[in-house]
Structure 1
Amino acid sequence: MAERGRRTVRDLRRGNRASLLRHLYFEGPLSRQELGRDTGLSAGSISNVVGELLADGMVEEAGAVESDGGRPRTLLQVAPGYGYVVGVDVGETRARVELFDLALTERAADDLPLSDGGHDVDHVVGLVLDGIRTVVREAGVDDREVLGVGIGVPGIVEQGDAVPGEGVGIVVHGQTIGWDAVPLGRLLREGTGLPLFIDNGAKTLGQAEMWFGGGRGADSVVIALIGSGVGACVVADGKPYHGATSSAGEWGHTTLRVGGRTCRCGSRGCLEAYVGAEALLGRWQPAPEGASEEAGLAAMLAAADHDEQAAALLTEAAEYLGAGIADLVNLFNPERIVIGGWAGLLLGPRLLPAVREAAAAYALRHPSAQTSIELGRLGADAVTVGAATLPLARFLDTGGEHAAVPQVQARPGVQEGPAAPRWNRTARAVR
């Protein structure tokens, strides 16, 4: 029996596979020689592991480059078509579901407005399961090719004792949308046998921006999500900070004005009550009735040059946002603060200069001078992309292992079609 804490041959092999897969994924295409140089593995280990990955179909050849005086060197890359991942963004007004190949190229998508059902748990679960089935079918993909489904949701996500990919222990506390200890993982598990990974939407946005966008190359970053509400992902030493119970990053519910405006969470003076899209539109009297929040905020921006109320609200929002960013600078001393989310990207071009000015005025001078404030680079669907990285990250970190999930045991009355499973509201704390 191996001694406790001692690495076995299997552990070493798995670690080598993970190291090569991750490096090829983020830095490829690369030659075997470059892999050896970058990872520090021996030529023999590189040869063995690459041979396994090629045989498994996880890695493929991607052309060749000339070498100095020798034979051309074959380039390798992670095979985009080896598997697929699904990303889901449960937003304030819609659920968006996208299926990607391993290069995160979109293969199918489905937009599902929440409509009159709002964030009723059964309604949301039914939409998400519908969307997953739709994109898998439209992409012509077999369920066995899907490495997992990542889901970004509003609120605090407790992972509990969940096995990666199983999902049944995951509970969501969404105070602003009326979710109280919702066993979301278990409810979704009753309708799909695919591996499930669930996290807060701001954290999935943060992972996407760290991998591919404004946070890439930095170890200390705060990625802000500004939509209907406000959240943040705090990254320290290259890793998202979750806190004791996964609630770190609820930046929108930090108090900027004692006794101020009432927030959706029930408290007063929260940042979200001054810079969230819902709060801004709720205070703008000419806000178009029946329009989406996206259309309403775009109209507010267009009117700001001749509408004094719109201009005043945006000026105030810029100062509050700058003050909130100053708090992040003073607390976390990040290299960068990246502003994302659909509303953040919509407001950013107009407000960013004033936000930077306010942040500099409210923050301590020395850390403020070391911090850049910029817009996200991945667009309004970054939460969905980030959600898709949850199963992809596990795939890379385990050297290509597939998550094992329990066989679906649907309760009586749960159908394998579009119908949503019903949530027993008398048993909210089930895990």
Structure 2
Amino acid sequence: MAGRSGRTVRDLRRGNRTAVLRRLYFDGPLSRFELGPATGLSSGSVSNVVAELIADGLVEEAGSVDSDGGRPRILLRVAPGSGHMIGVDVGETRVRTGLFDLTLTELARAERPLAPQRYDVEGIVRHVRDGITEVLAGAGIAPERLLGVGIGVPGIIEHTPRLGALVHGQTIGWDAVPLEQLLRDGSELPGAVPYFIDNGARTLGQAEMWFGGGRGARSAVVVLFGSGVGACLVAPEAEDGRAVEWGHLTVRVRGRRCRCGALGCLEAYAGAEALLERWREEGGSVPEGADEETALAAMLAGAFPPDGGAADPVALAVLEETAEYVGAGLSDLINLFQPERILIGGWAGLRLGAHLLPAVRRHAASYALRHPARKVTVDLGRLGPDAVTVGAAILPLAEFFARGGRRAEPVPEAPSTAWRTALAERVAP
């Protein structure tokens, strides 16, 4: 039965379970007494929900604390082994796969490097499948126990009813690639295990907002620097985060050609691939045959010698110019969205930020409007280079919590009527 608000009793129960699970997850262990004011539920509702969650194996006791003159209060926490998720970071230098328990403790990991400029679809699908198989076998977890597989990829993600997630990765040569369908075809995972595919910058943002430098902020922008550049916007209007193609914002009219084909994109000046190319063009000594991470480390060591020796003037000049481009790009985010915080992440962003953050802050403030610039903080992300993988694993976890800690039920395949088939064919991409 639905009430005046349109919510059914089932909806209310699911919402109550979600509230208790999330509070225990982020702030636990907590007692039943503490859960009442923390969730806004009555003591009776808390007792009923906790009893259900314990019966389902999602919540367990975690010791006790003394109370004022009464019996000790039992502490409760989310049971780590009650669910498992896989997170996959499909980066531009490697595919990293992690298996996590419900508290996001990593149980197993697999990494597969990618050859430069080798972003073929079949190879990526094979790496993802093999990585999933490897981490499940390494931890001894049955595929049926998975809550889902989250995958962060470069590009724009389009969710379609017939083909699932399509990836529009212009910079890597992917045009409407049906990644979800390709992963499902021939997969060893049961059909009931869902895939959650999203932009890698959004999965990074998800991780930083849940556990890192964005926690507690109402609005933030989390930017990702790797081979390319991306960003995730989190605001009251987009609480779960929204990927924005910040790297393809024009910072110089008729400037360098970007991998996307346009001229003057921020990515053409600040992405690791373009940064190393600019160093090479200026006569820098880019290590031959080295991957991007090794080459960028060499560039930073030349510009900022660890032994205090003479700096490589070419590397230093390119990096100083890059800091200004990044600061100018951040100023656009500040002016457009007026966030409380900006966090810089990604493997390249963390390495560059360790040396360039003061200059980036200075340039961002000089290019932005004074009022929003005074209110924003610009810092490095706190979760390190694995944050995209962790954020990808959060995607199925967040959906699990939203369902009140219940697994998704497989949708039965009913025979389609002729008009439904015709409609599906008309709207299909």
Change (3 A) 1:118 1:363: same
The structural deviation recorded for 1:347 is: 0.7
Equivalent in the alignment of 1:333: 338
The structural deviation recorded for 1:406 is: 6.6
- What is the aligned length? 402
The structural deviation recorded for 1:77 is: 0.6
Q: C-alpha distance in 2, partners of 1:4/1:158? A: 35
Retained in 2: the 8 A contact 1:93–1:118? no
Equivalent in the alignment of 1:216: 215
Tell whether 2:372 aligns with 1:367. Answer: yes
1:314 to 311, 319, 323: 319
- Cα displacement string for residues 30-88 of structure 1 (whole angstroms, at most 9, x for unaligned residues): 00011011111111111111001001100011111111111111110110110110000
Tell whether 2:64 aligns with 1:69. Answer: no
Equivalent in the alignment of 1:234: 233
Equivalent in the alignment of 2:253: 258
Runs of 4+ in structure 1 deviating by more than 6 angstroms, as ranges, are none
Structure 1 counterpart of 2:382, which letter? R
Equivalent in the alignment of 1:413: none
Which blocks of at least 5 consecutive residues in structure 1 are unaligned?
Answer: 163-167, 243-247, 409-428
Q: C-alpha distance in 2, partners of 1:295/1:25? A: 38
Equivalent in the alignment of 1:416: none
Equivalent in the alignment of 2:279: 284
SS of alignment partner, residue 244 of structure 2: coil
Change (3 A) 1:342 1:405: farther
Tell whether 2:356 aligns with 1:351. Answer: yes
Retained in 1: the 8 A contact 2:2–2:9? no
Retained in 2: the 8 A contact 1:151–1:199? yes
Q: C-alpha distance in 2, partners of 1:208/1:241? A: 11
Tell whether 2:179 aligns with 1:174. Answer: no
Q: C-alpha distance in 2, partners of 1:154/1:397? A: 26
Equivalent in the alignment of 2:195: 196
Equivalent in the alignment of 1:387: 392
SS of alignment partner, residue 404 of structure 1: coil
Equivalent in the alignment of 2:416: none
- Cα displacement string for residues 337-390 of structure 1 (whole angstroms, at most 9, x for unaligned residues): 000000010011110000011011100111100000000000001000000000
Cα root mean square deviation, aligned: 1.9
74-83 vs 6-15, which moves further? 6-15
Structure 1 counterpart of 2:138, which letter? E
Equivalent in the alignment of 1:422: none
Which blocks of at least 5 consecutive residues in structure 2 are unaligned?
Answer: 305-310, 414-426
1:183 to 178, 184, 188: 178
SS of alignment partner, residue 215 of structure 2: coil
Structure 1 counterpart of 2:184, which letter? R
Equivalent in the alignment of 2:267: 272
Retained in 2: the 8 A contact 1:117–1:123? no
The structural deviation recorded for 1:115 is: 2.5
The structural deviation recorded for 1:9 is: 1.5
Q: C-alpha distance in 2, partners of 1:370/1:117? A: 41
Q: C-alpha distance in 2, partners of 1:134/1:407? A: 30
Q: C-alpha distance in 2, partners of 1:228/1:398? A: 36
Equivalent in the alignment of 1:399: 404
Q: C-alpha distance in 2, partners of 1:2/1:430? A: 34
Retained in 2: the 8 A contact 1:233–1:241? yes
TM-score by length of 2: 0.90
- Cα displacement string for residues 224-264 of structure 1 (whole angstroms, at most 9, x for unaligned residues): 0011100000011161454xxxxx51000000000000100
Q: C-alpha distance in 2, partners of 1:7/1:271? A: 46
Structure 2 counterpart of 1:351, which letter? L
The structural deviation recorded for 1:127 is: 0.8
Equivalent in the alignment of 1:136: 136
SS of alignment partner, residue 380 of structure 1: helix
The structural deviation recorded for 1:161 is: 3.1
The structural deviation recorded for 1:189 is: 1.3
Equivalent in the alignment of 2:307: none
More relative contact order in 1 or in 2 (CA 8 Å, sep 6+)?
Answer: 1
Equivalent in the alignment of 2:299: 300
The structural deviation recorded for 1:204 is: 0.2
TM-score by length of 1: 0.90
Q: C-alpha distance in 1, partners of 2:8/2:265? A: 51
Q: C-alpha distance in 2, partners of 1:6/1:363? A: 45
Tell whether 2:44 aligns with 1:39. Answer: no
The structural deviation recorded for 1:4 is: 8.9
Q: C-alpha distance in 2, partners of 1:377/1:11? A: 36
Q: C-alpha distance in 2, partners of 1:67/1:269? A: 64
Structure 2 counterpart of 1:202, which letter? A
Structure 1 counterpart of 2:217, which letter? A
Quote the sequence identity (%): 64
Q: C-alpha distance in 1, partners of 2:136/2:390? A: 16
The structural deviation recorded for 1:160 is: 2.4
Equivalent in the alignment of 2:205: 206
